[in-house]
Amino acid sequence: MTHKVAILGSGNIGTDLMIKIIRTSKRLSMGVLVGVDPQSDGLARARRLGVATTDQGIDGLTGMAEWQDVRVVFDATSASAHGHHAEICRKAGKQMIDLTPAAIGPHTVPPVNIDAHLDQPNVNMVTCGGQATIPMVYAVRRVAGALPYAEIVASVSSRSAGPGTRANIDEFTETTARAIETVGGAGRGKAIIILNPAEPPMIMRDTVFTLSQGAEPEEIERSVARMADEVRTYVPGYRVKQKVQFERIGDNAPMVIPGLGAVTGLKSSIFLEVEGAAHYLPAYAGNLDIMTSAALATAERWVERKLA
């Protein structure tokens, strides 16, 4: 048995998620794709696939007969619109999976805390950079005595950053930094995003810097390798590009971190690449693919645990 879902947003992320559900999900099925642009490619593609659509936003969705059968609503619109959507879905008793940086609900990163918030009516998928890098922050944290600081740099193709992504750049950095702390376990987190205009477009690349205490390099290497395997169960194109690099930060030259002061420990540098599955988007758009894959994995776990 499958359960109906609705997707708010007919742009790149919403359309890719729709294709993933149709092609790969055994627990979910498409109910409605919702947009606001009657000419959007996503809505046209949905109609060709036999999926119900509306170009009247969430108000159009709630007026459709299909609304009654929808169990899960994915929001792939914008942080500014999500508050309104979340309130409507909460009152209607729908489970919401938020792919915007609004972060009204708790942050969820599947290989770290997928089961932690299944009782919450709204869970947030952080950001593409967060989904790619927070597993590695946590991989260091779970073997270390302490993780005072973690910083991530997400570099994505400019072509894969649509108007929604560009409008949410500030929210991206703030939401990702918070989740590095609340989910990844770092005492202080920082996030940077780079939109790279290179042609041909580059695959998503991420760099994770951590400053840990109480763990040896061999322990971190093993934990990073295990975590990469876990992420690949739902994002096959997720790769650690080279051996983790280490540097000892001693008392003779401590690292000065704003808000923390002078800190010592083991600096780890982890280099990642995320290649998309190319269900709808090009393979270089791994930043969007990891978001839709994480959202799908979270929704399927919710259905498995709550509706089985």
Q: Which residues are catalytic?
A: 128
Convert 16-49 to b/e letters by CB count within 10 Å (16 or more is b): bbbbbbbeebebbebbbbbbbeeebebbebbeee
Contacts of 168 (CB under 8 A, 6+ apart): 78, 79, 100, 101
Bridging pattern class, strands 265-274 and 204-213: antiparallel
Tokens 């600096």 label which residue? 267
CA distances for 9 relative to 36, 55, 206, 255, 284, angstroms? 8, 10, 26, 43, 21
> Which residues are registered as beta bridge partners of 262?
256
Can you list the positions of beta strands (E) in the chain? 3-8, 28-34, 52-54, 70-75, 95-98, 122-124, 146-157, 188-196, 204-213, 238-240, 245-249, 255-257, 261-263, 265-274
Peptide bond into 200 cis (omega under 30): yes
**Residues 260/149, Cβ–Cβ less than 8 Å:** yes
3-state secondary structure of 109: coil
The one-letter amino acid code at 123 reads V
**Residues 267/211, Cβ–Cβ less than 8 Å:** yes
